[in-house]
Structure 1
Amino acid sequence: MADTETPLLVDDRDGVRTLTLNRPEAFNSLTVRLKEALLAALTDAAADDGVRAVVLTGAGKAFCAGQDLKEHVAALRSDDPEPFRTVAEHYNPIVRALTGMPKPVIAAVNGMAAGAGASFAYACDLRVAGESTKFLMAFATIGLTADSGASWTLPRLIGYGRAMEMMLLAKPVPAAQALSLGMVTEVVPDADVVSTAHALAARMAAGPTTGYGKIKEALLTGAGADLEGALACEGAGQTILGATVDHREAVDAFVEKRTPTFTGH
């Protein structure tokens, strides 16, 4: 049984750090305590050279149902002058930590991913979904707009029109449709979601992780830059990577017709 006293579980194996949202009785909805734990864990993972890939998942039958409404209602009823300060204090930094992580981040999406929970999945680099997974952006049904970066990430995954449809109509997107739209990388049986994501992360953890980090940086920059800005970012990245041990190892292995061994340096 999950340790529900610990809102976030952390496991290290094969160079992969798995972060599990651990409030299954509440569909892993996001309390301040959980958000703070997740942000701290992502920050730690980014700085730890022993962590070469990250998996984000949820305990129980859901990935993450988004904001914990009990905490939100309590803030509204207490006449909190800034009931949405959690967006700036927690949600935005978490999304920056996911997209800016200098190593691959894979979402293992099990069951419902809604609101900020879905947004966290969009901010990951790859998404493995279970067959029962559904993505839901229901902000409009409670008179709110998108947050946690979804207005930026979702259109880049599935296009402006589809993203607008999801946002305005609050239509859940099942796993098979999510795959056809390009929202997820792979759909697998529910029981295999975490193991599949871990295997993919472990494969990448054995790869040229510094290079992966620069690929992330280039795509993140290119998504909002003009051509010259994108070219400059690419050039700076290649200059750095050209001097790495991993690049030299890859070239030597190619010449010697053997499999390269990458160290992430």
Structure 2
Amino acid sequence: MPGILLRDAGDGIRILSIDNAAKKNALDNALCGELAEKVSSLAADKDARVVIVTGEGGAFCAGADLPDVFGTMGDDINDIRDHLGDVVYQSFLGLRELKMPVISAVEGPAVGAGLNMALAADVVIASPSADFAATFSRIGLHQGGGCTPLLVETLGRQRAMKLLLEGGRLTGQQAYDLGLVAALADDPMDAALELAKTTADLDPRLARNIKTAVKLASESGFDAALQFETWAQAYTATQPGIQKMIAKLSKKK
């Protein structure tokens, strides 16, 4: 039976996975609801230090299950908009709101909503043969779910525009070459776990503050990020580990 899996991998690492192999992990309304619940539980999980998002059976997520998602909403534009924003989009965009770092491990298709979900993570690790696809325009559908800002953020305005107009797709290698993906790995899950273990070893507050600083730099500009990181660096400078290191270095002078 399709579902959203949430596993504790130890050391504060959580693995969130779509299990709908028969449809290459496409998201229907029920799975969107379950995904939103799991993301909410992660937000409340005080022991979670890092989250890995992936899909079962060699696919990340083939997008929305269109007959289920769009075929049940009627024809009132306001009702459709509300359902898309409150149920469908929020299910995966909630990942961006998590305070801890989020890593997506992408193998196989990441199409439409699946592309958005992959890019909602802080770091994307993919196999060279992964399939990142923004094929909305090919079926006459405007992109949604944050696809526009996510692509502009990662590819830049012109490349995002070209991909959306073409309804195009990128292999993992192409996505890496264009900056959509942070790293390539034959086994993205293993690589994601390695990064997750490194992240989990950090003071959780340090990891959260690194994420906040990067987000501010991306969304609010240099001055906002500088102001935050000045405070965050001052905070870490008062911590015992740094204090001991400074004392040790001072004795060597």
C-alpha distance in 2 between matches for 1:208 and 1:73: 43
- 2:3 aligns with one of 1, 7, 12: 7
Q: Which residue matches 1:263?
A: none
**Cα distance 1:254–1:99, how it changes in 2: closer, same or farther (>3 A)?**
farther
Q: Which residue matches 1:252?
A: 244
C-alpha distance in 1 between matches for 2:164 and 2:219: 22
**Cα distance 1:118–1:104, how it changes in 2: closer, same or farther (>3 A)?**
same
Moved more, 113-122 or 40-49: 40-49
Cα deviations across residues 215-239 of structure 1 (Å, max 9, x unaligned)? 2222223333254434443345445
Local SS of the residue matching 1:93 = helix
Determine if contact 2:89/2:145 at 8 Å carries over to the other structure. Answer: yes
Quote the offset at 1:240 in angstroms. 5.2
C-alpha distance in 2 between matches for 1:148 and 1:201: 26
C-alpha distance in 1 between matches for 2:54 and 2:25: 10
Under a length normalisation based on structure 2, what TM-score does the superposition of the two structures give? 0.87
Under a length normalisation based on structure 1, what TM-score does the superposition of the two structures give? 0.84
Moved more, 44-53 or 17-26: 44-53
**Cα distance 1:240–1:37, how it changes in 2: closer, same or farther (>3 A)?**
farther
The correspondence of residues 168-207 of structure 1 with structure 2, limited to 5 A, is: 168-189=165-186, 192-207=187-202
Runs of at least 5 residues in structure 1 that lack an aligned partner in the other structure: 258-265
List structure 1 runs of 4+ shifted beyond 6 angstroms. Answer: none
C-alpha distance in 2 between matches for 1:174 and 1:119: 15
Moved more, 90-99 or 104-113: 90-99
C-alpha distance in 2 between matches for 1:63 and 1:154: 18
Local SS of the residue matching 1:63 = coil
Determine if contact 1:99/1:216 at 8 Å carries over to the other structure. Answer: no
Determine if contact 1:55/1:108 at 8 Å carries over to the other structure. Answer: yes
Determine if contact 2:33/2:91 at 8 Å carries over to the other structure. Answer: no
C-alpha distance in 2 between matches for 1:256 and 1:63: 47
The correspondence of residues 118-129 of structure 1 with structure 2, limited to 5 A, is: 118-129=115-126
Tell me how large the CA RMSD over aligned residues is: 2.3
Determine if contact 2:136/2:167 at 8 Å carries over to the other structure. Answer: yes
C-alpha distance in 1 between matches for 2:246 and 2:110: 42
Local SS of the residue matching 2:80 = coil
Instruction: Give 1:248's aligned amino acid.
Output: P
1:27 pairs with 2:31: no
Identity in percent = 29
Q: Which residue matches 2:205?
A: 210
C-alpha distance in 1 between matches for 2:57 and 2:140: 29
Determine if contact 1:210/1:241 at 8 Å carries over to the other structure. Answer: no
Local SS of the residue matching 1:57 = strand
- 2:53 aligns with one of 34, 52, 56: 56
Quote the offset at 1:143 in angstroms. 2.2
- 1:157 aligns with one of 123, 145, 154: 154
Say how many residue pairs are matched: 247
Q: Which residue matches 2:127?
A: 130
Instruction: Give 1:38's aligned amino acid.
Output: L
Quote the offset at 1:16 in angstroms. 0.7
